[in-house]
Chain A
């Protein structure tokens, strides 16, 4: 065993989340975790592994299947001085908790004139991976438009840790949306890994010809498509949003000003989706620009592997969408006379 401190480790995605939560529970005696199977089971994805043993049943609490009550309890506890993380295994089931989340948590600070704050993190796992129509959804866009809610989405090990650390220090409700297909991945995590602030996107891959905006698992798909396109001389710039509410339009606009072509990519629906919001805001700032949106087909996502694969964006579809985008005529910048 080396005498020097290890500065960077390769860890599973779940371990990045676990470390952020463990550090928070260590530092803040008011921090607690609640959810189904978070205790001795260690979390549905083992993302809370070891926490129950370390912190005990008062701080790492298994709950019954009652998402509305879980989130409501988390809200009341946060408002009264604790710092809860409520974990809901499937994003689909946050639907059951929308009343307390939207009608109370997002409203509390405003409606009480600032007297009540809700420092709560609700962790959800989105995405399709063979589990069928009610266990596959990605509707981050529905939550992004709720004033008072912040929504963040990690795409890799480092930002899974960094965003969770930031979320657990926020002064209001944060929805943290990870993805089923990220859990099988691994990546580097510094011992002194930074927090990732909200409202800051990052350029995952610099490029000249087209801007591809993505978040969560779709960032990997965008990068894979970029690799395919690079072989034919098309150089994509991939932007990882990381933060959905607030959105970092500045980084997006800087990129689109350079490339003149924007493809938004999401696993959710394009109708009223993240891409719709970004396209509109980019054009409001930059004027008309070539833009295209790619998302899931407008249908429920079956557990059937053939049907699921046909429903979702993959590297081939993303590459084709970029090619099609670049075939549309460039829009000259507005004349400034």
Chain B
């Protein structure tokens, strides 16, 4: 991986963090699930995807959408329910989607996107061009039958599907070990013969390296793969969920900040200087402002949209 990839990864993580912060300052912020703390998983995964791949995710969609390369103004517009959003303001964060940009997108039902992703993979398999479907989900989805059923069929049919479990160690308030019996979540895939591994989700280089290895495996007809990334959720589960963790735990999580980690590494390696880091932050601030301005300027949908495109 080249240095520019690392700088790009740092900028992408900074940008996701900054856009979410800007979103939170708004009165019309609405009900949000934030990616902060988990940016390395989204950015590391996205670095392994090619233009013709499709990325699906859960309701925690902001960093995945931005990492995939969606226009930030469009993303912000969708998040605040404006008509310029790719879903015309109707989907919001929970259903953020832009298939033309390789982002089949979010579905707010826990584990609800897994079999959908397998179906997308089935369609991509028929194209025979090496494109794959990747699906992001949390530890909370791992108790669902949908995961078991999807892994079974994906393995049987050797679907080009990469399952990425962003395990932030909590399903709302329930610690991972209280909800799920396996020693590690990648163990769920092993009985199906699916290539699986568990990595540090707070290190974007580690995530990227693992994602590249597994996407290569999937792309080359190796069948599906399962990547577990262990991350930390900096905020509570959602903007309406109470925080259940104590100050000490939260502080310890912050020590693992993937942005700080990569920044420090790049400074230590001489890839970046203090000035270039500051320049990067300035660029991020400007892009966030531009995205917000674009979204602000977009109108809300008209009430008649409530029954448009029903089908």
Contacts and interface: CB of A to CB of B under 8 A. Distances in A.
Nearest to A61: B157
Interface string A272-303: 00000000000000000000000000000000
A104 B309 CA distance: 14
B211 interface: no
Interface stretch (B3-11, B35-43, B143-151): B143-151
B122 A64 contact: no
B123 A76 contact: yes
Interface in A51-86: 58, 61, 63-64, 66, 68-69, 71-82, 84
Given A69-B118, A112-B95, A113-B90, A80 B54 contact: yes
A103 interface: yes
A100 interface: yes
A100 B113 CA distance: 8
Interface in B122-163: 122-124, 126, 133, 145-146, 149-150, 152-153, 156-157
B55 interface: no
B88 A113 contact: yes
Contacts, number: 142
A72 B115 contact: yes
B115 A81 contact: no
A115 B311 CA distance: 12
Contact of A64 (B99, B152, B307): B152
B118 A72 contact: yes
A85 to B, nearest CB: 13
B63 interface: no
Contact of B311 (A76, A84, A110): A110
Nearest to B87: A113
B146 A68 contact: yes
A115 B100 contact: yes
A150 B150 CA distance: 26
B86 A73 contact: no
Contact of A116 (B89, B99, B115): B99
B125 to A, nearest CB: 9
A76 B87 contact: no
Contacts of B150: 69, 72
Interface stretch (B101-109, B260-268, B278-286): B101-109
B114 interface: yes
A99 B120 contact: no
Contacts of A78: 119
A58 B127 CA distance: 13
Contacts of A74: 119
Contacts of A206: none
A173 interface: yes
A82 to B, nearest CB: 5
Interface residues of B, number: 44
Contacts of A58: 126
Nearest to A77: B119
Interface string B33-72: 0000000000000000000001000000000000000000
Nearest to B159: A73
Contacts of B107: 103-104
B54 A113 contact: no
A172 interface: yes
Contacts of B118: 69, 72-73, 76
Contacts of A107: 95
Contacts of B149: 64, 66, 68-69
A109 interface: yes
Contacts of A82: 122-123, 126
Given A69-B146, A72-B146, A173-B311, A111 B116 contact: no
Nearest to A72: B115
Which are the 8 A-B pairs with shortest beta-carbon distances?
A76-B119, A72-B115, A113-B88, A80-B123, A69-B149, A172-B311, A76-B116, A77-B119
